[in-house]
Structure 1
Amino acid sequence: MPTASESVGRPVSRVEGVDKVTGRAHYTADVAVPGLVHAVLVQSEIPHGHVTEDSLRSGADRVGRAPGVLHVLTPLNCPELKVLPDELTYDLPLERRPPLSDLTVQYVGQHMAVVVADSLENATGAASLFELTYQAAPALLNAAAVLAAPTAPDEKGGQIRHGSYRPDHFVKLEEEKLQDQRGVAPLPESAVTRVDARYTTPRNAHYPIELSATIAQWDGDHLTIHDSTRWIAGERMALAAYLGIPEDHLRILSPLVGGAFGSKSFLWMHVVLCAVVAREVQRPVKLVLTRDQMFTSTGHRPRTHQEVTLIADGDGHIGSTEHHTVTETSTVAHFCEPAGLSTRFLYQSAHLVVSHRTARINAPTPCFMRGPGEAPGLFALEVAIDELAERAHIDPLDLRIRNHADLDQASGKPWSGKHLLDCYAQGAQRFGWRDRPAAPRSLQRGGVQVGWGMATATYPGRRMPAGCRVLTSADGHVEFSSATHEVGTGVRTVMTQVAADATGLPMHRVSFLSGDSEFPAAPYSGASQTTATVGSAVFAAATEWKRRLLVLLTEDPDSPYFGADPAGVDIAACAPAAVGAFADQLTFVAGSDAGDQSAQAFQSFGVHFCEVEVDEHLGRASVIRWVAVMDCGRVLNPKLARNQVMGGITFGLGMALLEQVPDDDRTALPIGEYYVPTHADRPEFDISFVDAPDYGLDPIGVRGIGEIGTCGVPAAIANAIHHATGKRLRDLPITLEDLMIPYRPADTRSPDER
Structure 2
Amino acid sequence: MTLTPTSTAAVGVPHTRVEGPEKVTGSARYAGEVPFADLAHGWLVLSTVTRGRIRSVDSASALARPGVLAVLHHGNAPHVERDVGDATSAVFQHDRVPHRGWPVALVVAETPEQARETAETLAVEYDAEPHDTAFRADHPGAYVPPDGAHVAAAVRKGDLDAALAASAVLVDARYTTPEQHHNPMEPHAATARWDDGRLELIDSNQGAAWVQGGLARMFSLDPGAVRVRSEHIGGGFGSKGLRAHQVAAVMAATLLRRPVRVVLTRRQMFSLAGYRSPTVQRVRLGAGPDGHLRALEHQGLNPTSTVHEFTEPAAATGRVLYAADAHHTAHRLVRLDVPSPTYMRAPGEAPGSFALECALDELAARLGLDPIDLRARNEPALGPVSGLPFAGRQLLDCFREGAARFGWAGRDPRPGLRREGPLLLGTGTAAACFPAGAGPSTAAVTAEADGTFTVRITAADIGTGARTALTLIAADALDVPPGRVRVRIGDSDFGPASIAGGSTGTRSWALAVTTAARDLREQLVPGAAPPPEGITARADTAAALAALPARERHSYGAQFAEVAVDTGTGEIRVRRLLGVFAAGRIVNPLTARGQFVGGMTWGLSMALHEEAARDPLSGAPVGPDLAGYHFAAHADVPAIEAHWLAPPEDDDDPVGIKGIGEIGIVGTAAAIANAVWHATGVRHRDLPLRPDRVLGATLGADAGGLGG
TM-score (normalizing by structure 2): 0.95
Q: Which amino acid aligns with 2:675?
A: A
Deviations 1:219-254 (A, max 9, x none): 353110011111212211111121121111110000
Tell me, in whole angstroms, the C-alpha distance in 2 between the residues paired with 1:188 and 1:458: 26
Other-structure match for 2:97: 105
The answer to whether the aligner puts 1:587 opposite 2:586 as a matched pair is no
Deviation at 1:465, TM superposition (A): 1.0
Deviation at 1:742, TM superposition (A): 5.9
Deviations 1:680-703 (A, max 9, x none): 111212211111156456322110
Pairs within 5 Å for 1:708-747: 708-741=663-696, 743=698
SS state at 2:520 partner: helix
Deviation at 1:333, TM superposition (A): 0.9
Deviation at 1:111, TM superposition (A): 0.2
Tell whether the 8 Å contact from 1:496 to 1:507 is kept in structure 2 after alignment. Answer: yes
Deviation at 1:603, TM superposition (A): 1.1
Tell whether the 8 Å contact from 2:164 to 2:295 is kept in structure 1 after alignment. Answer: no
Deviation at 1:472, TM superposition (A): 2.2
Deviation at 1:523, TM superposition (A): 1.5
Other-structure match for 1:411: 386
Tell me, in whole angstroms, the C-alpha distance in 1 between the residues paired with 2:196 and 2:28: 30
Q: Which amino acid aligns with 1:169?
A: D
Tell me, in whole angstroms, the C-alpha distance in 2 between the residues paired with 1:618 and 1:143: 30
Other-structure match for 2:483: 508
Deviations 1:154-208 (A, max 9, x none): xxxxxxxxx55423434x33xx322100012345663111010101111110010
Deviation at 1:743, TM superposition (A): 2.5
Alignment match of 1:525 (pick from 492, 500, 507)? 500
Tell me, in whole angstroms, the C-alpha distance in 2 between the residues paired with 1:512 and 1:304: 41
Structure 1 residues 435, 508: CA separation in 2 closer, same or farther (over 3 Å shift)?
A: same
Tell me, in whole angstroms, the C-alpha distance in 1 between the residues paired with 2:18 and 2:652: 26
Tell me, in whole angstroms, the C-alpha distance in 2 between the residues paired with 1:516 and 1:273: 21
Other-structure match for 1:571: none
Deviation at 1:132, TM superposition (A): 2.2
Tell me, in whole angstroms, the C-alpha distance in 2 between the residues paired with 1:212 and 1:455: 34
Deviation at 1:358, TM superposition (A): 1.5
Pairs within 5 Å for 1:663-674: 663-672=614-623, 673-674=628-629
Q: Which amino acid aligns with 1:78?
A: A
Structure 1 residues 271, 96: CA separation in 2 closer, same or farther (over 3 Å shift)?
A: closer
Deviation at 1:3, TM superposition (A): 4.8
SS state at 1:435 partner: coil
Other-structure match for 1:624: 575
Pairs within 5 Å for 1:75-94: 75-84=74-83, 88-89=84-85, 94=86
Unaligned runs of 5+ in 1: 149-162, 554-558, 560-577, 748-754
Pairs within 5 Å for 1:166-245: 166-170=144-148, 172-173=149-150, 176-185=151-160, 186=162, 190-245=166-221
Structure 1 residues 639, 741: CA separation in 2 closer, same or farther (over 3 Å shift)?
A: same
SS state at 1:649 partner: helix
Q: Which amino acid aligns with 2:253?
A: A
Deviation at 1:734, TM superposition (A): 1.3
Structure 1 range deviating more: 14-23 or 283-292? 14-23
Tell me, in whole angstroms, the C-alpha distance in 1 between the residues paired with 2:181 and 2:215: 24
Unaligned runs of 5+ in 2: 703-708
Pairs within 5 Å for 1:234-313: 234-264=210-240, 266-313=241-288
Q: Which amino acid aligns with 1:722?
A: W
SS state at 1:598 partner: coil
- Identical counterparts, % of pairs: 38
Q: Which amino acid aligns with 2:181?
A: A
Q: Which amino acid aligns with 1:715?
A: A
Q: Which amino acid aligns with 1:642?
A: R
Deviations 1:625-675 (A, max 9, x none): 111100011111111111110000011111111112122011112223101
Alignment match of 1:698 (pick from 645, 653, 658)? 653
Deviation at 1:536, TM superposition (A): 0.5
Deviation at 1:582, TM superposition (A): 4.8
Other-structure match for 1:152: none
The answer to whether the aligner puts 1:479 opposite 2:454 as a matched pair is yes
Pairs within 5 Å for 1:334-413: 334-413=309-388
Tell whether the 8 Å contact from 2:284 to 2:298 is kept in structure 1 after alignment. Answer: yes
Pairs within 5 Å for 1:646-665: 646-665=597-616
Tell me, in whole angstroms, the C-alpha distance in 2 between the residues paired with 1:262 and 1:61: 38
Q: Which amino acid aligns with 1:226?
A: I
Structure 1 residues 126, 104: CA separation in 2 closer, same or farther (over 3 Å shift)?
A: same
Q: Which amino acid aligns with 2:52?
A: G
Deviation at 1:147, TM superposition (A): 3.7
Tell me, in whole angstroms, the C-alpha distance in 2 between the residues paired with 1:188 and 1:8: 49
Deviation at 1:724, TM superposition (A): 1.1
Q: Which amino acid aligns with 2:174?
A: R
Structure 1 residues 96, 581: CA separation in 2 closer, same or farther (over 3 Å shift)?
A: closer
Other-structure match for 1:51: 54
Tell whether the 8 Å contact from 1:624 to 1:683 is kept in structure 2 after alignment. Answer: yes
Q: Which amino acid aligns with 2:677?
A: H
Structure 1 range deviating more: 631-640 or 423-432? 631-640
Structure 1 residues 583, 340: CA separation in 2 closer, same or farther (over 3 Å shift)?
A: farther
Other-structure match for 2:706: none
Pairs within 5 Å for 1:17-36: 17-36=20-39
Q: Which amino acid aligns with 1:622?
A: R
Tell whether the 8 Å contact from 1:695 to 1:702 is kept in structure 2 after alignment. Answer: no
Pairs within 5 Å for 1:158-173: 164-170=142-148, 172-173=149-150
Deviations 1:388-409 (A, max 9, x none): 1111111111111111112112
Tell me, in whole angstroms, the C-alpha distance in 2 between the residues paired with 1:169 and 1:695: 31
Structure 1 residues 685, 145: CA separation in 2 closer, same or farther (over 3 Å shift)?
A: closer
Deviation at 1:26, TM superposition (A): 1.1
Tell me, in whole angstroms, the C-alpha distance in 1 between the residues paired with 2:352 and 2:599: 16
Root-mean-square deviation over aligned CA pairs: 1.9
Tell me, in whole angstroms, the C-alpha distance in 2 between the residues paired with 1:257 and 1:44: 29
Tell whether the 8 Å contact from 1:212 to 1:289 is kept in structure 2 after alignment. Answer: yes
The answer to whether the aligner puts 1:493 opposite 2:468 as a matched pair is yes
Pairs within 5 Å for 1:325-340: 325-340=300-315
Other-structure match for 1:564: none
Tell me, in whole angstroms, the C-alpha distance in 2 between the residues paired with 1:506 and 1:251: 32
Tell me, in whole angstroms, the C-alpha distance in 1 between the residues paired with 2:102 and 2:656: 44
Deviation at 1:17, TM superposition (A): 1.4
Other-structure match for 2:128: 136
Other-structure match for 2:705: none
Structure 1 residues 697, 718: CA separation in 2 closer, same or farther (over 3 Å shift)?
A: farther
TM-score (normalizing by structure 1): 0.89
